[in-house]
Structure 1
Amino acid sequence: MTDTEDRTATKGGAAGRAAADAAPELDPQAARAALRRCRRIIVKIGSKSLSGDAWDRLAAEVAALRGRSGRSLVIVSSGAIALGVAKLGLKSRPKDMAWLQAAAAAGQSVLMQRYEEAFGKVGLLVAQVLLTHADLADRTRTNNARNALAALLEAGAIPIINENDAVAVEEIKFGDNDQLAAMVTPLCEADLLILLSDVEGLLDGDGRRVPFVRSVAREARHLAGASTSGVGTGGMASKVEAARRATLAGSHVVIGAAREAGIITRIVSGEDVGTLFAAVPQRLSARKHWIAYTLRPRGAILVDRGAAEAIGSKNRSILAVGVLGVRGTFLPGDAVAVVDPDGTEIARGLARMSASDAARTARKKREEAGDDDVVVHRDDLVVLPSE
């Protein structure tokens, strides 16, 4: 682990749970006021919001914010596949993987051309950054991406980040840029993530905007639905989950309407627009956020109640004696889910041993298991926030 990986490190493996427990005490007015102090901002804009003069309006707002306050901005942009569909003369977004990749390849150059033209008019440079989940799942490549983004921001450029859909097979089928934006948040050390959409924010059962969310589990998740636009792959459910993950990285998150004039400026000014998810008081370090919310578990470790308690409240490692069994096939260094006797996932971590070795040593004390009976070390373990 390098210094740059954990400049926002928190103490204790139960940081996520402690942060979630503290979140309900957040004050909406104080949280809105905090937006005015945000210095590094990520703006995610979806496919349906990129039409007409959207690029010009976005460029004008970014230029105004940069000029007045010196804030740095990063854009996570959808749109390559949608533009490629039009360029290739297709009637609708294809379902076949090869055609999706073809549309992404055809549309990516058009997307960047639109950004270059719009931002060039206001004197700003843009730089294309294409990422796949495999890039962010590898720690060395993640750090390389972090350093490249830092250099671009230092040079005064606006990074335009998108998934490399032309080669990322699984990401087209399962991923979306809301989740990419949440993963990029700790990478850029952003303190504000703005998720622009075709609606004014999270809506309640009567169609009214929800201005502030303290708890995603209690207040937001049941209100979110899937995408119905036929253009993008995300939806409100994806945005709410992305908001939850980004707040755990220490970033405020606002879901707002891309069509509203000056929406980014109004959010940064602390106006009551969109739906605000406030950053948790005690953030996860970049590395622990990566373990919990970027890596995909290769298997699961089932622990007994004593081990579950030690993990959740005492920041203890998972020892062989507390393991009931394993699921899946994993090797040392792979990400694993940690499950309690009730079947609830309580943590994620990096395995110190393979699935076969963990199964062989399960329930055994150190004298039986051998000198190294640590299945997951506490330094590689992240307690998930209590729902």
Structure 2
Amino acid sequence: MNLKSLNGKLLVVVKVGSSFLTSKHNQINKYKLQRIVSQICRLKKSNINVVLVSSGAVVSGMHLSGYSLRPKNIIDLQAIAAIGQSELMHNYSLLFRKEKIITAQILLTPEVLHNRQRYLNARNTILNLLKKNIIPIVNENDTVATDELKFGDNDQLSALVSVLIDAKLLIILSDVEGVYGLEGKIIKKIDEIDENIFGLDKGSGKQTTVGGMTAKFAAAKIAVNAGIAVVIANGSKSDILLKLIESDQAGTWFMPKKNKISGKKRWIAFSCRSRGKIFIDHGAQLAIIQKGKSLLSSGISSIDGNFSQGDLVVICGEQGNQIAKGLVNYSALELEKIKGVKTSKIEHILGYKFYDEVIHRDNLVVLE
């Protein structure tokens, strides 16, 4: 993949994992940190914008707090992350300042990206920082996250940030060369992320980190479906970031989908949390998938969930398979009353009619 052939200034997200940053003494390896910072600075001098998504807060906090193993409960994790995040950013800030580059800390939670206005605010902030030649360093806000709200790993976060800012490439640096096939050899290129690819994860067994290849595959799937190329590579290799920009000979590359969606539909597809499900009949499914139509009340067979007007819902076929996502114009309570009926009868049943469509095509994304 020739990245230099792309039009405009190249925008890259670099994700640095805890498995790569952690030394054999279960603390942040400052030498590796320095090497990554040095490469990012060289990329900037080559007119390439970089957003850094960095793990390491928990590992930093564990070392400072005397923990040898990652705590199991969320309260201790939040406390350790609070200690470690400031230490992590301090180390990054010192290294970048030696290169006369300013950094900015961006802490995100899933609920920020689920909310459309906050999503746009986060996007605008990051893009504005890049215009000012500042390096945004993104991490999950572990201090306020809970089990129900956590991204689960920074692999997913890095993919969502890539979608958020419309990056061209997501580089996931780890402690492995790439994705190993069943024969023990590195797979150079992956065109489709299916169950066979997920089956290649053998697990790492590490006690200080989370994630693993399954998390990376899931992150890559989000990014490539949004039209963003992804590469998983060994961060310890000399000048790895520079080499990945120059050629596709290192690591495992995941090819982006050509039918790229943009703007609001990207948020609907990848960042917004669903609040319920709408099950539709075969005719409505064909209308949505093959004819590009909106969802009407007449095609709805059943409802699942307690959602409100404007919430995101998943549209499912007769077999329960997910076929689309969209922002709904009527609440679950209202849809229970008008499901299966013609649009012309909505006002008679409800006493009002906000919209003809339950989900307008402009607010609907078909899932592959």
Q: TM-score, normalised by structure 1?
A: 0.87
Residue 44 of structure 1 aligns to a residue whose secondary structure is: strand
Deviation at 1:243, TM superposition (A): 1.0
Opposite residue 147 of structure 1, the aligned amino acid is N
From 28, 35, 40, the equivalent of 2:11 is 40
CA distance in 1: counterparts of 2:144 and 2:180, whole angstroms: 35
Aligned CA-pair RMSD: 1.7
Q: Deviations over 1:257-310 (max 9, x none)?
A: 112111111110114111111222221113212111111211100011111111
CA contact (8 A) 2:111 2:149 kept: no
8 Å contact 2:108–2:140 — kept in the other structure?
yes
How far is 1:210 from its partner? 0.9
Distance 1:294 1:200 in 2: 29
Matched, 1:367 2:336: no
Secondary structure of the structure 1 residue equivalent to 2:186: coil
In the TM superposition, residue 238 of structure 1 has moved relative to its aligned partner by: 1.2
Deviation at residue 220 of structure 1 after TM alignment:
2.1
- In structure 2, give the amino acid aligned to 1:43: V
Cα distance change on mapping 1:82 and 1:268 into 2, 3 Å = same
CA contact (8 A) 1:337 1:347 kept: yes
Structure 2, unmatched stretches of 5+, are: 22-27, 348-352
CA distance 1:158–1:332, change in 2 (3 Å):
same
Shift of 1:62: 0.9
The change in CA–CA distance for 1:340 and 1:35 in structure 2 (over 3 A counts) is farther
- Cα displacement (A) at 1:240: 1.1
Displacement of 1:375 after TM fit? 1.7
Task: For 1:383 and 1:336, locate their aligned partners in 2 and report how far apart those are by CA, in whole Å.
Answer: 12
2:25 aligned partner: none
**Separation in structure 2 between the aligned mates of residue 116 and residue 174 of structure 1, nearest angstrom:** 25
Q: Which of 307, 324, 333 in structure 2 is aligned with 1:347?
A: 324
Structure 1: distance between partners of 2:247 and 2:196:
22
Q: 1:233 aligns with which of 206, 210, 214?
A: 210
1:377 aligned to which of 356, 360, 367: 360
Q: Residues of 1 paired with 2:151 and 2:112: CA distance?
A: 16
1:59 aligns with 37
Aligned length: 353
SS of the residue corresponding to residue 298 of structure 1 reads: strand
Task: Report the Cα distance in structure 2 between the residues aligned to 1:219 and 1:66, rounded to whole angstroms.
Answer: 37
- In the alignment, the residues of structure 2 paired with residue 359 and residue 135 of structure 1 have an alpha-carbon distance, to the nearest angstrom, of 30
CA distance, structure 1, for counterparts of residue 238 and residue 247 of structure 2: 15
- State the distance in 1 between where 2:228 and 2:14 align: 12
Contact 2:287 2:293 in 1 (8 A): yes
- Cα displacement string for residues 295-337 of structure 1 (whole angstroms, at most 9, x for unaligned residues): 1211100011111111111111111110010111111111111
Structure 2 residue identity aligned to 1:33? N
Query: Which one of 47, 51, 56 corresponds to residue 79 of structure 1?
Result: 56
Q: Which moved more, 1:278-287 or 1:309-318?
A: 278-287
CA deviations over 1:89-137 (Å, ceiling 9, x no partner): 1231111111010011010001101111222222222111111111111
Aligned partners of 1:171, 1:270: CA distance in 2, in Å? 40
Q: Matched residues, percent identical?
A: 39
Q: What is the rounded CA distance, in whole Å, between the counterparts of 2:157 and 2:263 in structure 1?
A: 15
Aligned residue identity for 2:361: R
| TM-score, normalised by the number of residues in structure 2 | 0.91
Runs of 4+ in 1 over 6 A off after TM superposition: none
**8 A contact 1:228–1:235 mirrored in 2:** no
For 2:318, what is the secondary structure of its paired residue? coil
Residue 81 of structure 2 is matched in structure 1 by 104
* 1:134 and 2:105 aligned: no
Distance in 2, Cα, partners of 1:226 & 1:326: 38
* Structure ranking higher on relative contact order (CA contacts 8 Å, 6+ apart): 1
Where structure 1 has 5 or more consecutive residues not aligned to the other structure, the ranges are 1-31
Indicate the residue corresponding to 1:356 in structure 2.
333
Does residue 252 (structure 1) correspond to residue 221 (structure 2)? The answer is no
